[in-house]
Structure 1
Amino acid sequence: MEKTRQLAMLCVGRAVFFGGLAISLVMISFAFDFALALQAGAILTLVMAAILLWFAFTAERREPKRTEVWMLLAENERPRNDHAKRAFRTMMQEVHTHYARNAFVFSVSFFAMSTLLQVTGVEWGLG
């Protein structure tokens, strides 16, 4: 089951990475005002955390055959019986929750930095 968990971390992590890349590009587009860039990053990262939580909450009802992890597993390593499928769903729920927690921490950090910049009145930016 540890190999399955590593594959799940890889698959979900790759999706989170590409989401983070998109968020960072949006933040770069607001480089003229760092507080605004941090606000945009905070909101988008919070949306990503909400999506990951939705995936975590619906993991119990999702069929394992419809996941990327299932496709990457070797034929003999795929869960066959109901107990193994339940363990697979629980593991997917834990992985999504892990990444949702990390995304939430980043979102709160972005909000805090943005608020700090706005409260202090510092005008940082490339403009």
Structure 2
Amino acid sequence: MKYIKLFTLLAVLFIGTNLQAQTSEKDVTIIELTQVEGEFETNNLSLTPGKYQFRIVNKDVDKDLGFVIQKAEDAGKDVMKTALKDSFSSELVKKGEAQYTGVVNLTSGSYVYSCPLNPTPHYKIEVK
């Protein structure tokens, strides 16, 4: 329950400052990730360094969902303190809907993505 309150607060803070339905920035790759009950359909990502925006889709999950990216070494730690800048979804993702993150700059390294509300496992993002 505390994650829901924390995530809702964070989502509200980020909406007005840095998130849009789509980005107008150049050289940004949009990646769509679909959540079903308890998991993402895509388990791991292998990317090159660059700017990314994630589109999170709620596929028939009867509760609001979210999204966050952390460095791999921070997996399992408080997402409110360890989330990458702009990596939260813009709003809670309702059943049958989609939301975007801000533009996330990923450099070489290991990251994880998850939904702290669903909740899902931590899935790997390798950036090389």
Shared fold (TM-score, shorter chain, > 0.5): no
The one of the two structures with greater contact order (alpha-carbon pairs below 8 A, sep at least 6) is: 1
**TM-score of the two chains, using structure 2 as the length reference:** 0.23
More helix by share: 1
**TM-score of the two chains, using structure 1 as the length reference:** 0.23
More strand by share: 2
